[in-house]
Amino acid sequence: MSLKVYNTLSRQKEEFKSIIPNHVGLYVCGPTVYSEPHVGNLRTFCSFDMIYRYLTFLGYKVRYVRNITDAGHLTNERGEGVNRMESQAMLESLEPMEIVQKYTVSFHRIMDAFNTIPPTIEPTATGHIVEQIEMIETLFKNGFAYEVDGSVYFDVKKYNDQHNYGVLSGRNIDELMAGYRDLDGQEEKRNSIDFALWKKASPEHIMQWNSPWGKGFPGWHLECSAMSTKYLGETFDIHGGGMDLKFPHHECEIAQNTGSCKHGGAKYWLHTNMLNFNGQKMSKSLGNSILPMEFVNGNHPLLDKGYAPSVLKFLFLQSHYSSELDINIKGLQDAEKGLKRLMEAVDIASSLQLTVNSSGKTELDIKIENIAAACKECMDDDFNTAKTIGNLFELSSIVNSLKGGQIKPEEISAVGLDLLKSTLHSYLFDVFGLKNENAIISNNKLDNAMQVLIGLRKDAKAKKDFVTSDKIRNELSATGIQLKDEKDGEMSWTLS
Ligand code: AMP
Ligand code: ZN
């Protein structure tokens, strides 16, 4: 069976055929770097990490582009409001580019702690102002852009007369226009549904650039069209992002691409579904976000303790990337147990000393071959990680039976045993990017040990023995564990 993906654009599962044989161009909308990503954002980036890993596992050479949004993203999705980086800069008394740097670095640290593979190209919006201006100029030439007082807008109605605005999201422009009519801040647009390609900057706006229309900054949707075209071409294989970006962001991207070069960009659109916490979408604005590192160290009132990064990833993988996932303590505890069982199976399998059957293929070998084939079939079926995990549990049961003697060594051949081990290994480590974190998983031993060290450091500080307290902090830091002094005299720790 070959790979099938659910294409949001066609609203059906399609056979995946790359444009260039053996090569895949993959574009994923990256983070807006004005604050720490929360666990919901993490789910989306981990889902695409799994997709990238599986495509690589299948033998494709993947060019994986994931951008950093460091300009143009305003607080209001319709292109109004204030710049997110600038408003955060005011709150933290920093320069906007200091905000960009601070949160880009922490985003990378988190992606690393969760063992995701970096994209092969990570372009920034501020590094591609020229390309964005060029795309606007082409849109002018093609009649889809108009300028009003230093700002440039995309003429959605005119575009829709020739193409289909709504092709991805299924939205109808008359209904959209009716819904937007009474909203503020759109007086200068021809139609309420038009979106900004370039916004005139007020003098106090720090992030601004020269353009043929005066000083300003690009509209948020434009960067992804300009950068995907630059690095992957006018038509490329896969475009991904969270479901909440389908409209307006991705719809506007398609309109910009089609309006400038007659191609809508990606052939396949993949959308990951939302992570909910106790039934509500996790989001910064709703105030229910949990940060990835809070999960790891357990420093959050809604958590009972810390969980290893792989536990959270395993929980994500237990449901399909396009289904909503509601997380709660029970789900985390179950994921922890499940992952532990699989990792124990890996450890046991690697230390099994068996006098195996040497006279040919056994029935058990055939069973293992079928399970290995089923793993691939499940992954080929739109990356069904949940079902793949079910098959891996079957393999772990075989390992336990071999160890416990319920299955005799002569029931398996060396080839069968190798396939069993390599299947567990390939899917758990290469495709899912999990780690064998049994040491952390079992009773959270690392946190217990850290509390002992934190206690020693508190005692040293109380006795004004700063040599010892600094030694504890510095030596932990050298091993990749950061201690942080909290305001109330408490200390917390994070993996850096
Ligand atoms: P942002 O940094 O806000 O642009 O978001 C980065 C990515 O995270 C986007 O692809 C969003 O669609 C995705 N995202 C935001 N909230 C959630 C959530 N609760 N669950 C899953 N993905 C999310
Ligand atoms: Zn994007």
**The domain spanning residue 348 has which CATH number?**
1.10.730
Residue 16 tokens read as 């995946």
Asked if residue 289 has its Cβ within 6 Å of ligand 1, the reply is no
Residues 6+ apart with CB under 8 A from 429: 435
Atom nearest to 73 CA in ligand 1? 4
Of 256, 272, 288, which residue is a domain's last? 272
Of 240, 272, 304, which residue is a domain's last? 272
- Residue 221 Cα to ligand 2 middle (Å): 6
- Rounded distance, CA 444 to CA 466, Å? 29
- Rounded distance, CA 149 to CA 163, Å? 27
**Looking at the structure, do residues 370 and 462 belong to the same domain, yes or no?**
no
Q: 3-class secondary structure for 373-440?
A: HHHHHHHHECCCHHHHHHHHHHHHHHHHHHHHCCCCHHHCEHHHHHHHHHHHHHHHHHHCCCCCCHHH
Q: Which protein residue has the closest C-alpha to ligand 1 atom 2?
A: 31
**Looking at the structure, do residues 12 and 157 belong to the same domain, yes or no?**
yes
The single residue listed with the structure tokens 């596992």 is 57
- Rounded distance, CA 447 to CA 232, Å? 44
**Looking at the structure, do residues 57 and 206 belong to the same domain, yes or no?**
yes
Residues 6+ apart with CB under 8 A from 345: 395, 396, 399, 400, 424
Q: What pLDDT score was predicted for residue 441?
A: 47
Task: Give a yes or no: residue 436 inside a domain.
Answer: no
Cα dihedral 434→436→440→443 (10° resolution): 100
Q: Say if CB 65 and CB 170 are below 8 A apart.
A: no
Q: What pLDDT score was predicted for residue 270?
A: 98
- Rounded distance, CA 49 to CA 318, Å? 15
Q: Which protein residue has the closest C-alpha to ligand 1 atom 14?
A: 41
pLDDT tens, residue by residue, 73-106: 666 555 556 678 778 888 888 888 899 999 999 9
- Rounded distance, CA 422 to CA 123, Å? 36
Asked if residue 31 has its Cβ within 6 Å of ligand 1, the reply is yes
Atom nearest to 240 CA in ligand 1? 10
Atom nearest to 28 CA in ligand 1? 10
Shortest CA distance to 277 belongs to which of 235, 312, 239, 244?
312
Q: Say if CB 282 and CB 9 are below 8 A apart.
A: no
The single residue listed with the structure tokens 């666990």 is 39
To test the ligand 1 pocket, which listed residue (41, 243, 280) has its Cβ within 8 A of the most ligand atoms? 41
Residue 148 tokens read as 């009003």
Q: Amino acid identity of 257?
A: N
**Looking at the structure, do residues 126 and 260 belong to the same domain, yes or no?**
yes
Q: What pLDDT score was predicted for residue 79?
A: 52
Ligand nearest to the CA of 245: 1
- Rounded distance, CA 185 to CA 77, Å? 13
Of 257, 272, 287, which residue is a domain's last? 272
Q: How many domains does the chain have?
A: 3
Q: Say if CB 243 and CB 213 are below 8 A apart.
A: no
Q: Amino acid identity of 88?
A: Q
Q: What pLDDT score was predicted for residue 180?
A: 72
Q: Say if CB 382 and CB 4 are below 8 A apart.
A: yes
How many CB atoms sit inside 10 A of residue 17's CB?
Answer: 11
- Residue 49 Cα to ligand 1 middle (Å): 14
- Residue 306 Cα to ligand 2 middle (Å): 32
- Residue 174 Cα to ligand 2 middle (Å): 25
Q: Amino acid identity of 446?
A: L
Task: Give a yes or no: residue 489 inside a domain.
Answer: yes
- Rounded distance, CA 2 to CA 12, Å? 16
To test the ligand 1 pocket, which listed residue (44, 285, 312) has its Cβ within 8 A of the most ligand atoms? 44
The H helix count followed by the E strand count for the chain is 17, 15
**Looking at the structure, do residues 56 and 38 belong to the same domain, yes or no?**
yes
- Rounded distance, CA 229 to CA 262, Å? 12
Asked if residue 119 has its Cβ within 6 Å of ligand 1, the reply is no
Residue 82 tokens read as 């204030």
Q: Amino acid identity of 205?
A: H
**Looking at the structure, do residues 208 and 299 belong to the same domain, yes or no?**
no
Rg of the chain on CA atoms, in Å: 26
CATH code: domain of residue 216: 3.40.50.620
**Looking at the structure, do residues 58 and 177 belong to the same domain, yes or no?**
yes
**Looking at the structure, do residues 208 and 139 belong to the same domain, yes or no?**
yes
Asked if residue 242 has its Cβ within 6 Å of ligand 1, the reply is yes
**Looking at the structure, do residues 26 and 169 belong to the same domain, yes or no?**
yes
Task: Give a yes or no: residue 239 inside a domain.
Answer: yes
To test the ligand 1 pocket, which listed residue (108, 244, 286) has its Cβ within 8 A of the most ligand atoms? 244
**Looking at the structure, do residues 154 and 172 belong to the same domain, yes or no?**
yes
Q: What pLDDT score was predicted for residue 175?
A: 86
- Rounded distance, CA 431 to CA 391, Å? 14
Q: What pLDDT score was predicted for residue 285?
A: 77
Ordered per-residue pLDDT tens for the chain, 496 residues: 799 999 999 999 999 999 999 999 999 999 999 999 999 999 999 999 999 999 999 999 999 999 999 986 666 555 556 678 778 888 888 888 899 999 999 999 999 999 999 999 999 999 999 999 999 999 999 999 999 999 999 999 999 999 999 999 999 988 888 777 655 566 789 999 999 999 999 888 888 999 999 999 999 899 999 999 999 999 999 999 999 999 999 999 999 999 999 899 999 999 999 999 878 899 877 888 899 999 898 888 888 899 999 999 999 999 999 999 999 899 999 999 999 999 999 999 999 888 888 889 999 999 999 999 999 999 999 999 999 999 999 999 999 999 999 999 999 999 999 999 999 999 999 999 999 976 554 446 677 788 889 989 989 988 999 999 889 988 888 777 878 887 677 787 776 5
- Residue 248 Cα to ligand 1 middle (Å): 14
What proportions of the chain, in percent to the nearest 5, are helix, strand and coil? 50, 15, 35
Strand 145-148, strand 151-154: pairing: antiparallel
- Rounded distance, CA 311 to CA 55, Å? 23
How many CB atoms sit inside 10 A of residue 452's CB?
Answer: 9
Average pLDDT, the chain: 92
- Rounded distance, CA 186 to CA 112, Å? 42
Alpha helices (H) in 122-219, listed in sequence order: 129-141, 156-162, 173-180
Q: What pLDDT score was predicted for residue 442?
A: 47
Q: Which protein residue has the closest C-alpha to ligand 1 atom 18?
A: 40
**Looking at the structure, do residues 358 and 229 belong to the same domain, yes or no?**
no
- Residue 27 Cα to ligand 2 middle (Å): 9
Asked if residue 282 has its Cβ within 6 Å of ligand 1, the reply is yes
Task: Give a yes or no: residue 326 inside a domain.
Answer: yes
Q: Which structural domain range is residue 364 located in?
A: 277-431
Query: Residue 30 burial by CB count (10 A; 0-12/13-18/19+): exposed, middle or buried?
Result: buried
**Looking at the structure, do residues 120 and 259 belong to the same domain, yes or no?**
yes
Q: What pLDDT score was predicted for residue 178?
A: 78
- Residue 373 Cα to ligand 1 middle (Å): 33
